[in-house]
Amino acid sequence: MTPDPLLLQQHGLTRGEYQRILEMLGREPTLTELGIFSVMWSEHCSYKSSRVHLRKLPTTGRRVLQGPGENAGAVDIGDGLAAVFKIESHNHPSFIEPYQGAATGVGGIIRDIFTMGARPIALLNSLRFGSLDDPHVRRTFAGVVAGIAGYGNSIGIPTVGGEIGFDESYTGNPLVNVFCLGIARADEIVKASASGEGNPVYYVGARTGRDGIHGATMASAEFDDKSAEKRPAVQVGDPFMEKLLLEACLEVMKTGALVGIQDMGAAGLTCSTCEMGARGGAGVAIDVSLVPQRETGMTPYEIMLSESQERMLLVVTRGREQEVERVFEKWDLHAVRIGEVTTDNRLRVQHHGEVVADIPTAALTDEAPLYERPMAEPAYLADARQLSMQSLGRPGRPQEIFGRLLASPAIASKQWVYRQYDHMVRTNTLVVPGMGAGVVRVKGTQRALALSVDGNGRFVYLDPFLGAQLAVAEAARNVACVGGQPIGATNCLNFGNPERPEIMWQFARTVEGISAACRALDIPITGGNVSLYNETDGRAVLPTPVLGVVGLIEEASRIVRRAFTSQGDAIVLLGTGAAELGGSEYLKVVHGLVRGVPPALDLAREAALQRLLVAAISRAVIRSAHDCADGGFAVALAECCFGTGLGAAVDLPPVEADAGFGPIAALFGESASRVIVSVEPQRTADLLALAADEGVPAGVIGTVGGERVRMRVAGSGAIDEPLADAERIWSQAIGRYFEPQRAIA
């Protein structure tokens, strides 16, 4: 029988996929079954386009306790403890309803962490928007920030870091990637699997409503001018309910009566039941009429597909139900028994005793469709990679360019944003947001963790393989700059429509780049998230992989920050600059171009640089460290001065470039593997010796002090500006977009 084409389209299923369903079931699916297949086979849940590529990532290492496949990854941090972490996207909901979309993104990733038995202690986020000149973008930006703040602040998990980028390609499709890290006892990590015939299956948390039905399917489709009509598919967050669930679930885990637990995120009850069953090699039978409901007359289809937030599914050891129920009652939550574990490896759903779905769990998980989609190098690349200095006209005045870059939202202070996040609650935050990597101490130990999320869509657009490597290197370098040894990473891969060969090519090359860099830097990927179909009206976002790297700091008391600390300290540049303006913020801001080839990256040299930083910091040789990224050396030096009242005077080595662009390249080029450090003059020799041991180029370029920021290139003056003026430009740029008169415009 041929299915109704409209029905298939509404469920995001192809005719071929429907044929497969018929073969797997040996009959026509019921409507509820069709809905279940629809969400489980959606790109969002099945990774059907990306899985063949993701297998290339390195996922093992001596510290890895849990790799991909569970709710989050985990690495050993010593003292019998594990860091449990993951990053996830909430891009599509955040475009449709910025506040709730971002808030529920935070809620979802927090659940992934405490589900593993870890106490969440830090949040970070990586955000991308269109230009702030666009009033609609400003509203999205303010809404996303408020949503992240509203959820994270209420539940009491500090937001300790992140990054924000801007490009027109994100105008109709912002990126909201949220990272969470928790701490668990290494031997008490909890798995999301169902096992033990007859063990009861419990539902706990918010009641199920009609919100978010087909959210996973929505996240697997492009946007068009009808997207605003999808608002009912966005869920509403309740951070107080999540706080109760967090505390109660961690308490329940301590009883030892729990077999497995999973949150109901994308695809809700459907995903949690069949995934837990598949992981545990068991089946799950539930009766949806027992599920607590917020609305009357809900059908089994709606109950199975609802993405109402703040709900958990638990499998409890038979005979120990009361211990579990007692804990939930303490927190005024009602755990409801909705079914039990079976041995037939099937998901069986009843409604008032009538079977409405009966599907092998493997059909929904391991045997879901897998595509090797066609790939083709994008046509734009050959031209976009050409950059002729001559075509840029005469080089501008460095001082004027410096001011424009400091005022560019990508570079300007994000204090307007970070002030809205509670970044201090839990009293562990040693380095606050906006300073490179965030650092949290691990109470009860001498250790701390450094956390950084980074990605550069322009670089990946111009060279996915290299751009992805640069993202890994930057995140790891940020962690090393505070003294952290990178020990694990998670990635969030934000791309356009994978059914287009050029997008799939970008994706595949990106994964290969991440893989190459992670192998060279010895950083296993322990999990992550893929977000495809980030397009509006056929226009894709810049391909944007975001890397979240976790670094281990052995002695929390030894960390350094990016800010200069002492008048008279020597300023040393580790690494060397080259004529590399391709894909730079300078080209974008001054010339309106996204062009050229990204900076070269020597992974062996990058690894040596990071080893050097960790060694120099652990031996207290240096007093500050900051990597050169967006805006190049000039911006990085200014950032080392901001907030300290200490100026700086430096003379940079010359850089050879065409058409007189040498000084511009030296100051604003974004060459990789460069770090500005400050060092007590008498320790300079120690630092240079350490650098020589690692083969890292290093040279004293100037001195900390004075009230001005002065930069020369090969002896010629380039920038000489009062520190206070530079800092004013930098610190006020973003807030200006939100002054009352402008907000009304």
Partner 1 sequence: MKFAVVVFPGSNCDHDAYHAVKHVLGQDAAFVWHKETSLGGADAVILPGGFAHGDYLRTGAIARFSPVMQAVRRFAAAGGPVLGICNGFQVLLEAGLLPGAMLRNRSVQFQCEHVYVRVEQTDTPFTLACRQGQILRIPIAHGEGNYYAEPAVLEQLERNRQVVFRYTTVAGAVTDDSNPNGSINNIAGICSEGRNVVGLMPHPERACELPLGSADGLVVLESVVKAVTQGAVAATR
Name the residues that contact partner 1, by CB under 8 A. 146, 149-150, 153-156, 238-241, 243-244, 247, 330-332, 418-427, 429-430, 432, 441, 443, 556-557
What region does 685 belong to: left with phi over 0, alpha with psi -120 to 50, or beta? alpha
**How far apart are CB 735 and partner 1 at their closest, in Å?**
11
Which residue is associated with the tokens 């490009």? 167
CA distance 368 to 560: 48
Cβ 179 vs Cβ 85: under 8 Å: yes
**375 three-state secondary structure:** coil
DSSP strand pairing (624-627 vs 438-441)? unpaired
**How far apart are CB 644 and partner 1 at their closest, in Å?**
14
- Distance in Å from the first CA to the final CA of the chain: 57
155 versus 475: smaller Cβ distance to partner 1:
155
**How far apart are CB 161 and partner 1 at their closest, in Å?**
14
Instruction: For residue 669, give the nearest of 635, 645, 641 by alpha carbon.
Output: 635
**How far apart are CB 563 and partner 1 at their closest, in Å?**
13
202 versus 421: smaller Cβ distance to partner 1:
421
* Strand residue runs (E) in 414-534: 429-431, 438-441, 448-454, 485-494, 525-531
CA distance 56 to 43: 19
CA distance 598 to 256: 52
Q: Where are the alpha helices (DSSP H) in 340-454?
A: 361-364, 380-384, 398-407, 415-418
**How far apart are CB 166 and partner 1 at their closest, in Å?**
21
149 versus 286: smaller Cβ distance to partner 1:
149
- What token pair was written down for 242? 């999540």
Cβ 179 vs Cβ 73: under 8 Å: no
124 versus 269: smaller Cβ distance to partner 1:
124
**How far apart are CB 56 and partner 1 at their closest, in Å?**
41
**How far apart are CB 193 and partner 1 at their closest, in Å?**
29
**How far apart are CB 639 and partner 1 at their closest, in Å?**
19
CA distance 525 to 66: 10
**145 three-state secondary structure:** helix
8 versus 236: smaller Cβ distance to partner 1:
236
**645 three-state secondary structure:** coil
Question: Rounded to whole angstroms, what are the CA distances from 566 to 68, 570, 609, 623, 647?
Answer: 44, 9, 24, 8, 10
Q: What is the 3-state secondary structure (H, E, C) of 53-113?
A: HHCCCCCCCCCEEECECECCEEEEEECCEEEEEEEEECHHHHHHCHHHHHHHHHHHHHHHH
148 versus 719: smaller Cβ distance to partner 1:
148
154 versus 445: smaller Cβ distance to partner 1:
154
448 versus 546: smaller Cβ distance to partner 1:
448
Q: Which residues are catalytic?
A: 44, 90
240 versus 380: smaller Cβ distance to partner 1:
240
Cβ neighbours of residue 461 closer than 8 Å, sequence gap 6 or more = 384, 467, 506, 542, 543, 583, 594
**515 three-state secondary structure:** helix
**How far apart are CB 125 and partner 1 at their closest, in Å?**
15
Dihedrals phi, psi of 246, to nearest 5 degrees: -60, -55
CA distance 605 to 597: 20
168 versus 554: smaller Cβ distance to partner 1:
554
**How far apart are CB 305 and partner 1 at their closest, in Å?**
27
CA distance 332 to 718: 65
Cβ neighbours of residue 240 closer than 8 Å, sequence gap 6 or more = 154
Cβ 373 vs Cβ 641: under 8 Å: no
